[in-house]
Amino acid sequence: MLEIKSFDTECPITDQLNTDATPVVLVNPFTVERDQIEQVVKAWEADATWLKKQPGFISTQLHRGVEPSTMFFNYAVWESVAHFRAAFTHPDFQSTLAAYPDGTSAAPHLFERVAVSNLCTA
């Protein structure tokens, strides 16, 4: 089963779920045992397929660390924390976490865009 860790120990995902930010980007690095990479990708695909059908979902992208890394990273864009919270805490989604092999851990965290003059829009 997937182990959820804190990306930011001062502000775990469970605290972020109580906010009202909009829109948000989920950043989710996770570690995988080398012999379980294929199983993890299939589990992530099932999660993403379910999440894609939820209200407020905008997009997602999975990345893999360049060899020989066994780290993965995905990000997903959501209309709001409320939409993400409804999907993330849904029993159907939580039950999909059992498909990840033991030893796999993730550290989901929500971010807002930051405006920086001449570079980034908020």
What domains can be seen in the chain, in order of their start residue?
3-111 (3.30.70.100)
pLDDT, one tens digit per residue, over 84-121 is 999 999 999 999 999 999 999 999 999 999 999 999 98
Is the torsion defined by CA of 99, 82, 15, 77 positive or negative? positive
Is residue 122 pLDDT above 90, yes or no?
A: no
Beta strands 105-106; 3-4: pairing state: parallel
Percent of the chain with pLDDT over 90: 98
Q: Report the pLDDT averaged over residues 64-84.
A: 97
